[in-house]
């Protein structure tokens, strides 16, 4: 593994909390993700199903977890199924987890080979009344029928055991995963720390005439060197007017003298993620207008992040953040205060220059699971990312940090990443 061994106590605790929510005499089944094909005989890099990882720590394909808290035999209350290796697999793919190694990672004593799954489940299934099955329930993602291992597991179970009750494992995991444990926070802090080094490397490398992807390469080098598993998402390196496209990531334009670059990037470490955005001038010196816009967004970040406190509600927070940005747009001369006063509240004028939300949960997923109707609580980690986008001036600015909500207010996990204008210019010109 690229990351240090995570104590199995984390996954033991996660399973205990999950099992406590299951109704009596029920079985939960969680599967790994597929290894996705690319072209010919090539495959994409493997990314584990985060529900399975959260409950087991297993970071290997072709794995299944069964939880049956009321099983008559204690050894059947937690069963982990992993792929059995062979000499041929070792030659072509390398080592896979042994049963002993799977136990060390997960803390699950009863580890079986994957081919034993169907018969093992059959011995227990008719004693149970309910199955909890996994499915991707993120509001921004749709999976077609039979598209993933989870989908295929749902179809298989319902065909083989049609008279059982079926319930959603995601309902429990999204509730539990919103509150991060000390171990999880430490992993997210490690991801954030790696991202700090990546950003500083970019600041020292950038110069007029470079391609955006050259800066992406600097990010990639540093995060891999420091043990990051991968980019948390496709990084955005957007110079000039490209920064006004929120999800621009072709990263193939020339970074021109006088332009500002918006860089939105994250690091995945041990499957936990950071998500940060910084802006900086190509030539190492902010223009006066760039300073004005940047300072306006930085003000919104500093003031808006103070609103990320226990007891706050997402909808109210976003409205208060919008007011902060609206005030700055007036100061920048982009909006007229009288027009704002008389605006249609259903079509606020600020939307022309600021059109997205500013706080999302982050953890095993960059846009982590959870309900935004739930009040913020200590242990949640959220981003704060206000922005102002002015296409007619070729300026797009967004600034983003990751904040842990504590009983004493928000803690910035990305505090070490330079953000003040003077600090950024000093690094670029050192």
Q: Is the pLDDT of residue 144 over 60?
A: no
User: Which pair of structure tokens corresponds to residue 393?
Assistant: 């001036």
Looking at 182-284, list the stretches that DSSP marks H as alpha helix, in order from N- to C-terminal side: 182-205, 212-225
The listed CATH number (1.20.1250.20, 3.20.20.140, 3.40.50.300, 3.90.230.10) that belongs to domain 182-428: 3.90.230.10
pLDDT value at 228 more than 60: yes
Per-residue model confidence as pLDDT tens digits over 60-118: 999 999 999 999 999 999 999 999 988 898 898 898 999 999 999 999 999 999 999 99
Cβ atoms 279, 239 nearer than 8 A? no
Please give the residue that has the higher pLDDT: either 140 or 264. Answer: 264
Strand 26-31, strand 130-133: pairing? parallel
% of the chain with per-residue pLDDT over 70? 99
| Cα–Cα distance measured from residue 155 to residue 153, given in angstroms and rounded to the nearest whole number | 5
Q: What percent of the chain has pLDDT over 90?
A: 91
So where are the chain's domains? Answer: 8-177, 182-428
State pLDDT tens for residues 198-216.
Answer: 999 999 999 999 999 999 9
Pairing, β 230-231 against β 78-82: unpaired
- Decide if domain 8-177 falls under CATH 3.40.640.10: no
pTM of the entire predicted model = 0.95
Cα 196 to Cα 276: distance, rounded to the nearest angstrom: 9
What pLDDT, on a 0 to 100 scale, did the predictor assign at position 135? 87
Q: What is the pLDDT of residues 349-393, one digit of tens each?
A: 999 999 999 999 999 999 999 999 999 999 999 999 999 999 999
Q: What is the pLDDT of residue 325?
A: 98
Residue 7 reports pLDDT greater than 70: yes
Q: What mean pLDDT do residues 145-150 have?
A: 78
User: What is the C-alpha to C-alpha distance for residues 267 and 217, in angstroms, rounded to an integer?
Assistant: 14
The C-alpha atoms of residue 231 and residue 224 are separated, in whole angstroms, by 9
Q: What is the pLDDT of residue 80?
A: 98
In angstroms and rounded to an integer, the radius of gyration of the C-alpha atoms of the chain is 24
Per-residue tokens: 124: 């227990």
Q: What is the mean pLDDT of the chain?
A: 96
Distance (Å, whole) CA 187 – CA 362 = 12
Identify the pLDDT of residue 412.
98
Read off the pLDDT band of 146 (50, 70, 90). Answer: low
Which stretches does DSSP call E strand in 19-161?
A: 26-31, 64-67, 78-82, 110-113, 130-133
Grouping H, G, I as helix, E, B as strand and the rest as coil, residue 213 is helix
137 falls in which pLDDT band (50, 70, 90)?
A: confident
Q: Which pLDDT score is estimated for 142?
A: 59
Distance (Å, rounded) from C-alpha 330 to C-alpha 319? Answer: 17
Give the separation between CA 150 and CA 321, rounded to whole angstroms.
Answer: 38
What pLDDT is stored for residue 139 in this prediction? 74
- The predicted structure's pLDDT at residue 38: 87
Question: If pLDDT is split at 50, 70 and 90, which confidence band does 2 have?
Answer: confident
- Residue 39 Cα to chain centre, angstroms: 27
């Amino acid at each position: 593994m690229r990351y240090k061994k995570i104590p199995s106590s984390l996954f033991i605790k996660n399973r205990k909390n999950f099992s406590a929510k299951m109704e009596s005499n029920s079985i939960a089944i969680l599967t790994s993700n597929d290894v996705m094909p690319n072209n010919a005989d090539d495959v994409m890099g493997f990314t584990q199903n985060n529900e399975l990882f959260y409950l087991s720590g297993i970071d290997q394909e072709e794995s299944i977890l069964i939880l049956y808290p009321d099983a008559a035999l204690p050894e059947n209350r937690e069963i982990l199924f992993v792929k059995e290796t062979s000499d041929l697999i070792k030659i072509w793919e390398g080592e896979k987890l042994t049963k002993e190694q799977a136990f060390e990672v997960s803390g699950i004593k009863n580890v079986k080979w994957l081919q034993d799954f169907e018969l093992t489940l059959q011995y227990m299934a008719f004693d149970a009344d309910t199955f909890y099955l996994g499915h991707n329930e993120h509001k921004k993602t749709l999976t077609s029928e039979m598209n993933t291992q989870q989908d295929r597991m749902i179809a298989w179970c319902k065909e083989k055991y049609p008279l059982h009750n079926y319930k959603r494992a995601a309902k429990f995991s999204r509730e539990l995963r919103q509150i991060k444990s000390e171990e999880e926070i430490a992993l997210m802090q490690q991801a954030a720390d790696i991202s700090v080094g990546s950003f500083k490397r970019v600041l020292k490398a950038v110069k007029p005439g470079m391609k955006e992807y050259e800066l992406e390469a600097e990010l990639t080098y540093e995060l891999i060197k420091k043990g990051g598993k991968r980019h948390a998402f496709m990084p955005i390196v957007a110079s000039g007017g490209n920064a006004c496209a929120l999800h621009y990531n072709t990263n193939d334009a020339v970074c021109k003298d006088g332009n500002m670059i918006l860089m939105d990037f994250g690091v995945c470490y041990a499957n936990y993620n950071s998500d940060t955005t910084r802006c900086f001038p190509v030539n190492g010196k902010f223009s006066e207008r760039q300073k004005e816009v940047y300072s306006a967004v930085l003000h919104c970040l500093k003031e808006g992040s103070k609103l990320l406190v226990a007891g706050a509600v997402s909808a109210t927070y976003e409205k208060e953040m919008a007011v902060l940005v609206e005030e700055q747009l007036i100061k920048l001369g982009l909006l007229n205060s009288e027009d704002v006063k008389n605006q249609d509240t259903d079509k606020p004028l600020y939307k022309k220059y600021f059109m997205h939300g500013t706080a999302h949960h982050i953890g095993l997923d960059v846009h982590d699971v959870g309900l935004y109707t739930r009040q913020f609580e200590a242990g949640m980690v959220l981003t704060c990312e206000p922005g102002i986008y002015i296409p007619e001036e070729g300026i797009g600015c967004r600034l983003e940090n990751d904040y842990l909500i504590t009983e004493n207010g928000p803690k910035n996990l990305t505090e070490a990443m330079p953000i003040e204008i003077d600090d950024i210019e000093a690094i670029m010109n050192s």
